[in-house]
Structure 1
Amino acid sequence: MGGHLNAYTSREQTVYYAKSLASDVSTSVEILSDILQGSTLDPAAIERERGVINREAEEVDKNKEEVVFDHLHGIAFQRSSLGYTILGPKANIDTITRQDLLDYISKNYTPERMATAAGGVDHDQLVKQAEKLFGGLKPGAPRTEIIKKPTFVGSDLRARFDSHPTAHLAFAVEGASWTSPNYWPLLVAQAVIGSWDRALGAASHSSSKFAQQVSKYNLANSFMSFNTSYSDTGLFGTYIVSENFKQLDDLSHALQQEWHRVCLSVTEAEVFRAKNQLKTSLLLSLDGTTPICEDIGRQMLVYGKRLTPWEVDGLIESVTAEQVRAAAQEAIYDKELAVVGYGPVDALQDYNRLRAAMSPIYA
């Protein structure tokens, strides 16, 4: 067929997907159905996959951004499965059994937890085929365990390696879930703070005041604001890479001052520009059938329907500067803070001082 078949796992979803010519969609759906319902889980294949996953784990360890975000989830959501890494510890990879996989599939691969999505296909025909191939799936047994919302824990973790060429930092507060009324205002707040890379230059012309500060005083090589949402919680913060080790205290102070500024005095002009940037980035992220398919699947699981680009545009456009300030205050003002430092981070302020800087009195 010349198609493409793959799968990946995030912290809340597992995705199996196929890309093919429109004429081969029917065959692709049959293959996905067989994978989900008829996999033999051959013991030899399981043994072979252990080595593959262990090599993937080694590659993840080389990506410092991934390492920092794994640590950030680990300290922010302690004693919760959301704090676990996606690949898991090596001991689990080495000992997981075929029966463990069968139990997981029977518990989680149930129709009420699945969503299918596709690009250039006949919708009615796809629905009929899905009913035929997946109609025999039995609903999952009622869940007896109580799924509690993960508790956000203010804490810090510092992996100090003085020989490392750059310091990697992440500062985060508890963000908003997918369905929270603060989800869209915090996305706009993220766009106000923005992202920047020294290699791109033009900081003096950047709409981000934090980027202007970072560039003017050479505080960092790059930074990226993030607003990561899950079904019942989230993380709002900033990831920073810097080779200016001696000014990490100035860097953290500048970031927290910018957070407070967004809480208190973000302007209508900044919000207008941030909304346009956000709409542009969201639309550009849907460039291709794979991201559109992922977007549809995620929204079906979260909202029970697909939000069209026009609906998303309207939701973003309706956000006001007052709503951004209110959402930022609720997330940031005197709230718990999670901090991760990796590399030469000796000059990073003591955690108690960083936490104290979250107070309105400090601001």
Structure 2
Amino acid sequence: MTNAIPLPFDLPHLDATVAGGSRLQRTVLPSGVRLITEHVPGSASASIGFYVPLGSRDEADREYGSSHFLEHLLFKGTPTRDARRVALEFERVGGDFNAATSREQTVYHARVRDQDLGMAIDVLTDMLTSSLLDTDEFELERGVILEEIAMTEDDPTDVLWERFYQNFFGDHPLGRPIAGTPESILASTRDEVWDFYQRNYTPRSLVVAIAGNVDHDTALRQLCDGLVRGGWNLDAPGEPIARRYRDAFVPTRRSLFEAIDRELEQTNLIIAAPGLQSGDPRRHTFGLMHHILGGGMSSRLFHEVRERRGLVYSVYSFAASHADTGVTGISAACMPDKAAEAVRVIRAELEKLATDGVGEEELADAKGAGAGGGALALESMHARMNRLARAELVLGEFADLDVGVARMAEVTNEDIRALAQTLTDQSFTSETIGPLTEAARHELEALA
């Protein structure tokens, strides 16, 4: 089996050829800045991401919402570019750019033609190092974020997922809405967010990932020039911020069942239990199990709950992994009078998986889907960029498609059955929104 490539912090330079003939290169600067690139033969574009390993779970109470606030504010201007100029730089060459905040990281990313990659590096370094956080822009963006939160509150599905995370993780920071609350955003001050920016956006925290038609040495030179121009000292020694390897914990859940009363046509529900950490070696088993259980139109849940019985329109299984914990479960939406039976059938499918495992043909099909889906995903330079960042920030190793396929090939029926048994032995947390019959309530409470 082809081995994964380790990414230790004390290795200044790495150069390797990986599956498909791509060239993987990585540089760790003395200041702690990391650049990891994948040159993809035949590509005419490049996707670039500036990643900061900082998300909503890292904020102190007074800072709550600052990561997401910064995600907005860094687009509002620097000493050399106002907000319109930042946008125009990308849009006039047909590129796109955006940002995202999660519970464990923030990323500023762009996709451009290969010839415009230098521009993308220049603009993103300017934003990351030199944003003004102008007071007037701060107040304008406060209003925008409050509108964003209000929009979420108007969407029943968004409300369901936000409340589910709050109940599942209780008082732990993972349970907080990423964008903050109206109260925390109204309480934020420009100086507090500025202090958060200055303390956390440093050379030690920065990972830049680029995939596509990229020359590593040229990109490194352009990156360093931009960071130095922004006032960063790249000569000062600084080890990269440690990866989030943490002891696993099971969330202390605030409630094992909650029903949100909304006037809706359907009952929307989530049934979930603690899952796996990001770096858990069973993650390939986990992925195959989810594909078989609820990953598509050929999955057990789709066939049994929707196709055979007609109980739902939507049903699927899901998983989310964090550094020290995870969540796994099933989501469905159905007419209120069908919810009780839908929950019973879902529960029966979970128990069957934990007791009997999967068939050889099912497992072979899932492995084929994993290999094919992985190959198709790599047609996207954005997906390759995210793979590089996950390798650098989370896993500490780069595993190409051949490694992933080989690891999936080793998974057995017993591996899946044992993992399913471990997960189903736990108490389930359930969250619903919309009408809820007493029969459905009884079924959901029985899962706790």
- Common fold, TM-score beyond 0.5? yes
Preserved CA contact (<8 Å) 2:251 2:274? yes
Fraction of identical pairs, as percent: 25
CA 1:285–1:66: 2 relative to 1, 3 Å:
farther
Query: Going by fraction, where is strand more abundant, 1 or 2?
Result: 2
Aligned AA for 2:178?
Answer: I
Aligned AA for 1:227?
Answer: A
CA 1:181–1:304: 2 relative to 1, 3 Å:
closer
- Residue 161 of structure 2 aligns to a residue in which SS? helix
Structure 1 distance, partners of 2:267, 2:301, is: 18
TM-score normalised by structure 2 residue count:
0.70
Mapping of 1:119-134 within 5 angstroms?
A: 119=211, 120-134=213-227
Structure 2 distance, partners of 1:97, 1:211, is: 48
Match of 1:159 in 2: 260
Aligned AA for 1:192?
Answer: I
Structure 1 distance, partners of 2:267, 2:99, is: 33
1:136 corresponds to 2:233: yes
Structure 1 distance, partners of 2:191, 2:396, is: 32
Shift of 1:140: 8.4
Structure 1 distance, partners of 2:191, 2:408, is: 46
Aligned AA for 2:370?
Answer: L
Structure 2 distance, partners of 1:267, 1:296, is: 34
Shift of 1:73: 1.2
- Residue 209 of structure 2 aligns to a residue in which SS? coil
Match of 1:220 among 307, 312, 321: 312
Structure 1 residues 283-328: Cα deviation after superposition (integer angstroms, max 9, x where no partner) = 4344422232223212210123432122222222221111111111
Shift of 1:85: 0.7
- Residue 104 of structure 2 aligns to a residue in which SS? coil
1:178 corresponds to 2:278: yes
Shift of 1:51: 1.7
Aligned AA for 2:447?
Answer: L
CA 1:104–1:279: 2 relative to 1, 3 Å:
farther
Structure 2 distance, partners of 1:325, 1:227, is: 17
CA 1:214–1:68: 2 relative to 1, 3 Å:
same
Shift of 1:150: 5.6
CA 1:20–1:352: 2 relative to 1, 3 Å:
closer
Preserved CA contact (<8 Å) 1:108 1:140? no
Report the count of equivalent residues: 341
Preserved CA contact (<8 Å) 1:114 1:301? no
Structure 1 distance, partners of 2:349, 2:362, is: 13
Match of 1:106 among 198, 201, 211: 198
Structure 2 gaps, min length 5:
1-91
- Residue 181 of structure 1 aligns to a residue in which SS? coil
Match of 1:278 in 2: 370
Match of 1:89 in 2: 181
- Residue 290 of structure 1 aligns to a residue in which SS? helix
Aligned AA for 1:353?
Answer: A
Preserved CA contact (<8 Å) 1:156 1:340? yes
Shift of 1:141: 11
RMSD between superposed Cα atoms in Å: 2.5
CA 1:107–1:151: 2 relative to 1, 3 Å:
farther
- Residue 79 of structure 1 aligns to a residue in which SS? coil
Mapping of 1:341-356 within 5 angstroms?
A: 341-347=432-438, 348-350=440-442, 351-355=444-448
Structure 2 distance, partners of 1:141, 1:211, is: 44
Match of 2:293 in 1: 193
Aligned AA for 2:435?
Answer: P
1:246 corresponds to 2:246: no
Mapping of 1:8-19 within 5 angstroms?
A: 8-19=100-111
1:256 corresponds to 2:347: yes
Structure 1 distance, partners of 2:445, 2:333, is: 22
Structure 1 distance, partners of 2:218, 2:332, is: 48
- Residue 158 of structure 1 aligns to a residue in which SS? strand
CA 1:61–1:275: 2 relative to 1, 3 Å:
farther
TM-score normalised by structure 1 residue count:
0.86
Shift of 1:66: 2.5
Mapping of 1:189-338 within 5 angstroms?
A: 189-195=289-295, 207-215=298-306, 216-243=308-335, 245-265=336-356, 266-333=358-425, 335-338=426-429
Structure 1 distance, partners of 2:241, 2:379, is: 39
Structure 1 gaps, min length 5:
197-205, 356-363
CA 1:98–1:58: 2 relative to 1, 3 Å:
same
Aligned AA for 1:95?
Answer: A
Greater Cα shift, 230-239 or 93-102: 93-102
Preserved CA contact (<8 Å) 2:311 2:342? yes
